[in-house]
Amino acid sequence: MNIRPLLIAFLELLGSPIYSQLHDVEEIAIEFMQRQLPTEGFKPTDFKDFEVISSYLSKNNGVTHVHIIQKYQGVEIENAIFNVNILPDGEVFHHGNSGVKDFENKVVSDEEITSCHEALEKCFRDLKLPEVGQMKSIYQTANETLFKKTKHTFDDILARQLYVPQSDGKYRKVWSV
């Protein structure tokens, strides 16, 4: 008798509640965030775009910690994180946030942003590394490019767009390399 299908079915049943629990707490966290933020002075557009970046269960107390990053037009805002701590029964007992209020009015024009290739070349120049010529990209999306490792790097190089705060309180889109 082949017990492999039975074993797979058993493991799926065993893992299903854990996946379901984490998925449900993420939904609880998102719903809580969307209800809570207006009471803290955020506009509906401030967290219109976001991403759950981590969700983990503390084994010592059963609390699930969900971290959600604020984005604007698909680009992450540096250190703009909303965290929600959820008890095993699904009740939110604590939250915190370092989100940016009225973000769309704090964005500096994107017109001056350099390309990810130019940003990487500037990093190499600033670090006084030899010119590398045309870097080969392994994959590229609208907001990220992964460049192939060079003889001057230990690993592949990830360049991703990010909004970072400026000294005047505005935010500029840059390439983080």
Q: Return the domain boundaries, the chain.
A: 4-105, 110-176
11 SS3 class: helix
Q: What was the pLDDT predicted at 112? A: 63
Nearest to 100 by CA among 162, 27, 177, 176: 162
Both tokens assigned to 127: 């670090």
CA distance 132 to 124: 8
Average of per-residue pLDDT across 151-166 = 89
Per the DSSP assignment, residues forming a β-bridge with 55 are: 66
Going by pLDDT thresholds of 50, 70 and 90, the confidence category of residue 16 is very low
Average of per-residue pLDDT across 52-69 = 94
Which segment of 14-28, 52-66, 68-82 scores lowest on mean pLDDT?
14-28
CA distance 12 to 17: 9
The CATH class of the 4-105 domain is: alpha beta
Q: What was the pLDDT predicted at 20? A: 40
Q: What was the pLDDT predicted at 134? A: 72
Write the CA distances from 167 to 110, 158, 172, integer angstroms. 17, 26, 11
CA angle 132, 149, 138 (to 5 degrees): 100
**Cβ atoms of residues 101 and 130 within 8 Å:** no
Write the CA distances from 13 to 16, 17, 22, 55, integer angstroms. 5, 7, 15, 21
The pTM of the whole model exceeds 0.85: no
More confident site: 112 or 28:
28
Q: What pLDDT, in 10s, does the model give residues 108-134? A: 876 667 888 888 888 888 888 876 677
pLDDT averaged over every residue in the chain: 84
